[in-house]
Amino acid sequence: MIVLSGTIGAGKTSLTQMLADHLGSKAFYESVDDNEILPLFYKNPKKYAFLLQIYFLNKRLDEIKGAFANDTDVLDRSIFEDSLLFGLNADLGRATQTEVEIYDSLLKNMMEELPDEPHKKAPDLMIHIHVSFETMLDRIKKRGRNYEQIETDPSLFDYYKTLNERYVKWYDSYDQSPKISIDGDQFNFVEDPAAAQKVLTMIDDKLDQLSLK
């Protein structure tokens, strides 16, 4: 099982599809466009932060169970990122510390309830896409979801900036599985086919190193 991580607009969905096609495996996507709670969260984060987090937890556990079926299935977000995101919401006053503790405890208990395949509870490889804050903002603007736009809510600027900074620390401390970092600024695989091929080659080399191909 391969999972991707990265901030909003990093290119996780694009690389997930490219990688699944490349490996002949199945792609699992984060529920965004069909997520009824996400727009509500952007309108009223204090009210909906905890509900949104539980929604994502439920969906992500379904994805992990679905990915048990085949080797090298690709998930476009890691469940291990969720505590980072929810912790930031708490620091910004959008959730309480009690809610964070309840969520972390629930995540731990639910992960323990997954089928007895320890090597599948954590990914075989975690691919992190790092992009600069400027690239992040540009991608968010290009994909055009109204509720994500800084022009709609100026407070999102600080939220996005802090989130991008925290992802750097999160990746450095991540130790649940083998990992590889892709520089999404240097290799613009979303728009440049040559860069996309280089990224796939880097991932192939890492999979070969881990004897996963």
Q: Which helix (H) or strand (E) holds 167?
A: helix 156-173
Q: Which two tokens stand for residue 173?
A: 């401390």
Binding residues: 6-14, 30, 42, 53, 77, 82, 139-143, 148
Residue 182's nearest CA partner among 155, 209, 162, 201 is: 201
Contact 54, 40 (CB under 8 A): no
Contact 53, 104 (CB under 8 A): no
> Which pairing describes strands 2-5 and 74-75: parallel, antiparallel, or unpaired?
parallel
DSSP 29: -
Number of Cβ within 10 Å of residue 68's Cβ equals 12
Among all residues, which ones are annotated catalytic?
Answer: 76
Binding residues for ATP: 6-14, 139-143
